[in-house]
Structure 1
Amino acid sequence: MIGNHLEEKNFYNNLIEICESIANGNYEYAKQLFEMTNFNNYPKPIARLAESFGLMLVKVEAREFHLETIIDQLRQTQQDLIKAHQQLKDENAELKQKLHQKFSFQNIIGKSKAVLNIIEKIKKTANTPFPVLLTGETGTGKEVIANAFHYSSIRANHPFIAINCSALPKDLIEAELFGIEKGVATGVDKREGKLVLAKKGTIFLDEIGDLSLSNQAKLLRALEEKKITPIGGKRPIPVQARIIAATNKNLEKEIKKGSFREDLFYRLNVIHIHIPPLRERPDDIPLLIKFFLENTCKQLGLKVKNLTPQAKQALLNYSWPGNVRELKNEIERAIVLSDTETIDVKDLSEKITISQENSNPLQLMSHHNNLTLKEAEKILIQQVLESTQGNKTEAAKRLGISREGLRKKMKRLGIS
């Protein structure tokens, strides 16, 4: 028993009052708690009990001090995180702005009627949700146009994801596009499809003509129902991305061959843009040359190099079967190989210089002593017509004569 009943009751009443005061933040009452440990005032067991409460208070205060230190550290960490988050937001916004500046339609290089028409169509349709089909030869810049659609639209702040349908086997492209569930095969982990990862952005399907018929069927469903089902999945997942497809094939011919679905073709062909080959838009070549010269020299930290008139003419006369991509590669090569600030004909590829030599009847005669001027002129016109795929208007431009003048020369020289 702890002393008499009255003494015990008084002790506990005092103890409760002191503890409540301390709990409410009135730490000055802590002194009274320690005074209760005075063995003369209270029986020994009660004094020891009070002493234990006092020690407990010391530990609580120590813990509170430690917690305050941790809280201060957490507050500082929070401030650092807020600062870092804001910095990331600023950097992200800056990056998006740079991407917009680099890939929007304002950066499509060209002044030909074909390019101006493409830019106008992008302006009119960029913010619509409809699919886009881009057609044209390899190297004409279909991905550049796809980027322009994306970065000129309300989708610009969302992902732009490109997939080359000819670069992956059938099963892999299916998993890439539509996703796959965990455990479908040994060691396979769950993976989201690119159509889902694109979110409200754009998915660019290059070489759509090489997509298998089974994947074409799944893509058609995605276009019609705005949903996809991953490999091994049971529930469809909503798709919000805009689809832009591109091909260098004639899809209507592929339909007749049975290698492309007609219903998918019409689904994709809502907005159709054909990008003509570079040989059909020679007015764009000087602008592209200037752009690639400036851009490449800047990347290499060089002063912008110039072209001699002969080198420029050689580039203008070449037919560019590889289109814009081939022109870009040629300019980059010439910049690296040129020893001076001026690029000459000798710095160009052999295929370019040979084409330049064959574009002049006098040079043709110098290489073939038995040729007459009339024969050399005939060979020249035939070569230019071949390089323009029979386009007489374009051939006349390259030869520096009128279309009517070309027609008369062809008749005189017996060129059909």
Structure 2
Amino acid sequence: MGMDLIFSKENMEKILDHVEEGIEMIDARGRIIYLNKAATEYEDIRREEAIGKYMLDIYPSLAPETSTLLRAIQKGIPTFDIQQTFLNYKGKKITTINSSFPIKVKQKIIGAIEISKNITDVKELSEKVVALQEQLLSKGKNRKKKDEGDSAKYTFFDIVGKSKEITKVKGLAMKAAQTSSPVLIYGETGTGKELFVHAMHTASTRRNKPFIAQNCGALPGTLLESILFGTIKGSFTGADNRAGLFELANSGTLFLDEINSMPLELQVKLLRVLQDGTIRRVGDSKTRKVDVRIVAASNEEPFVAVENKRLRRDLYYRLNVVGLRLPELKERSGDMPILVKYFVDRFNNQLNKTVKKVSDEVVEIFENYDWPGNVRELEHIIEGAMNLMDGEEITVDCLPMHFEKYNRKNLEKTMDIKNVPLKTALQNLEIEMIRKTLKEWNGNISHAAEGLEIPRQTLQYKIKKYKIKRE
């Protein structure tokens, strides 16, 4: 079969119709010559109605200066990740993030192609959340002082545990709460990062001021920028004058979760805020002073994020004025029975249950289990067990099936543990499982981590800890 047949126009169109992103092409005069299925669906137009029409007839709210596709023809240079809000000819409002490329033949521009991602629903929802936060904060300013500052829900009393590991980090967090310096918190999934940030805010002098949280990994970079810094009318097509989260959090605390997911170019703007306390709305030439205490969290070891270029080195040093590492559940010696009792009591109230006991076998399984999801996983396991059980005791039968291999009977089947401490036996089993899985995947850490059902960073840590060679 010849290559020209494989890449025929019909075959290429069939392939592009299965791409999630919208793809649109125009000729040198700005007439639409191609749209794939995704573009027709989110722009709510029929392909036969658009093909051959001039761009601005289909998108009347755009202009030659604001259409990213037409600008690609005019300027002859590609642009990347440009946010654009427009109305199609049916009056439907759409927001996309576009990357546009001129098409040249012998240095002559014959058209342009654009790849776009529809973020209409995400943008509308994000703006509604920001507007709601603004309304709540506005109402809060009119309330009596004793009723203010309830936007952070937790205190240090809500952080359950008495182990040396959790007590130490709570003490450091309490001291950090009394300052306005930036804080960088690192912890695996489910270790309680947001709980600590809430507690630090309520223990600080900013407790009666706004507390706002934003997950940096939940939004595309260009949308995250406008949500954080705000916009001015005309900064991009469809933009309005809108305050961002930095302005809404003024005098209070802004929590940036998954900071390692923030685009590097946006991290530069965040660094500027940390250095001089000013922000600039998207498209604005005016700077605005803000007084915001920034607390950032990473679910990846910060040095690893820096080395892998997911976190700028200069931003890391500026954020890490106070650095807190939250211990994993398996590191919190003695906290398991306290946490189990806490969650059983809580779900007794929520589910109207009368659970009084957790069987010895379940306790032993909990002590042996690795808890990759940490405290959050323990919480969900207990909630699930109590939803399904009858009686007053949580037994092994109430647990998910994958817990069975962690009870003593099954452990004894896999290895001889006579005259060997349980901790040593479990460690040996863990090392053997890691070695075996790494061998199966030819040393590929990502695939091995998936096979072991643990985070990649956790596997890297264990390989280093046990000095395991990747075969």
TM class by smaller structure: 0.5 to 0.7
Matching of residues 288-367 of structure 1 within 5 Å: 288-357=339-408, 360-361=411-412, 364=413
- Where does residue 208 of structure 2 map in the other structure? 157
- Where does residue 428 of structure 2 map in the other structure? 382
Identity of aligned residues (%): 38
TM-superposed CA distance for 1:257, in Å, is 3.5
1:113 aligns with 2:175: no
Amino acid at match of 2:254: I
Cα distance in 1 between the residues matched to 2:352 and 2:148: 22
- Where does residue 134 of structure 1 map in the other structure? 185
TM-superposed CA distance for 1:260, in Å, is 2.3
Residues 272-306 of structure 1: CA distance to partner in whole angstroms, max 9, x if unpaired? 00012111113122111111111222222333543
1:226 aligns with 2:277: yes
Amino acid at match of 1:289: V
CA contact (8 A) 1:178 1:194 kept: yes
1:188 aligns with 2:239: yes
Cα distance in 2 between the residues matched to 1:375 and 1:255: 41
CA contact (8 A) 1:319 1:387 kept: no
* TM-score of the two chains, using structure 2 as the length reference: 0.57
1:174 aligns with 2:220: no
Cα distance in 2 between the residues matched to 1:293 and 1:376: 30
- Where does residue 198 of structure 2 map in the other structure? 147
* TM-score of the two chains, using structure 1 as the length reference: 0.64
CA contact (8 A) 2:149 2:209 kept: no
TM-superposed CA distance for 1:347, in Å, is 0.2
- Where does residue 265 of structure 1 map in the other structure? 316
Does 1 or 2 have the higher relative contact order (CA < 8 Å, sep 6+)? 1
- Where does residue 176 of structure 2 map in the other structure? 125
- Where does residue 76 of structure 1 map in the other structure? none
Cα 1:197–1:95 change in 2 (3 A) is closer
Amino acid at match of 1:239: V
Amino acid at match of 1:314: I
Cα distance in 1 between the residues matched to 2:172 and 2:434: 26
Matching of residues 30-49 of structure 1 within 5 Å: none
- Where does residue 212 of structure 1 map in the other structure? 263
Cα 1:387–1:277 change in 2 (3 A) is farther
CA contact (8 A) 1:279 1:388 kept: no
Amino acid at match of 1:220: L
CA contact (8 A) 1:182 1:189 kept: yes
TM-superposed CA distance for 1:340, in Å, is 1.6
- Where does residue 290 of structure 2 map in the other structure? 239
Report how many residues are paired: 295
CA contact (8 A) 1:141 1:324 kept: yes
Structure number with larger C-alpha Rg: 1
CA contact (8 A) 2:368 2:426 kept: no
Cα 1:228–1:387 change in 2 (3 A) is farther
More helix by share: 1
Cα distance in 2 between the residues matched to 1:290 and 1:345: 17
Cα distance in 2 between the residues matched to 1:387 and 1:288: 28
1:199 to 221, 245, 250: 250
Cα distance in 1 between the residues matched to 2:330 and 2:191: 10
Amino acid at match of 2:429: Q
TM-superposed CA distance for 1:153, in Å, is 0.9
Cα distance in 1 between the residues matched to 2:417 and 2:276: 68
Cα 1:387–1:195 change in 2 (3 A) is farther
SS at match of 2:254: strand
Cα distance in 2 between the residues matched to 1:388 and 1:281: 23
Matching of residues 398-409 of structure 1 within 5 Å: none
Cα distance in 1 between the residues matched to 2:359 and 2:323: 39
Cα 1:374–1:111 change in 2 (3 A) is closer
SS at match of 1:205: strand
TM-superposed CA distance for 1:96, in Å, is 4.9
Amino acid at match of 1:209: N
SS at match of 1:166: coil
CA contact (8 A) 1:135 1:275 kept: yes
- Where does residue 15 of structure 1 map in the other structure? none
TM-superposed CA distance for 1:224, in Å, is 0.4
Amino acid at match of 2:316: F
TM-superposed CA distance for 1:184, in Å, is 2.2
- Where does residue 110 of structure 2 map in the other structure? none
- Where does residue 65 of structure 1 map in the other structure? none
Cα distance in 2 between the residues matched to 1:110 and 1:353: 26
CA contact (8 A) 2:404 2:410 kept: no
Cα distance in 2 between the residues matched to 1:158 and 1:204: 13
More strand by share: 2
CA contact (8 A) 1:317 1:359 kept: no
SS at match of 1:133: strand
TM-superposed CA distance for 1:373, in Å, is 5.3
SS at match of 1:246: strand
SS at match of 1:157: coil
Cα distance in 1 between the residues matched to 2:418 and 2:168: 41
Q: CA RMSD in A?
A: 3.0
- Where does residue 338 of structure 2 map in the other structure? 287
Cα distance in 1 between the residues matched to 2:221 and 2:255: 17
CA contact (8 A) 1:305 1:335 kept: no
Cα distance in 1 between the residues matched to 2:189 and 2:433: 16
Cα distance in 2 between the residues matched to 1:386 and 1:325: 27
Amino acid at match of 1:207: E
Cα distance in 2 between the residues matched to 1:271 and 1:372: 44
Unaligned runs of 5+ in 1: 1-84, 390-416
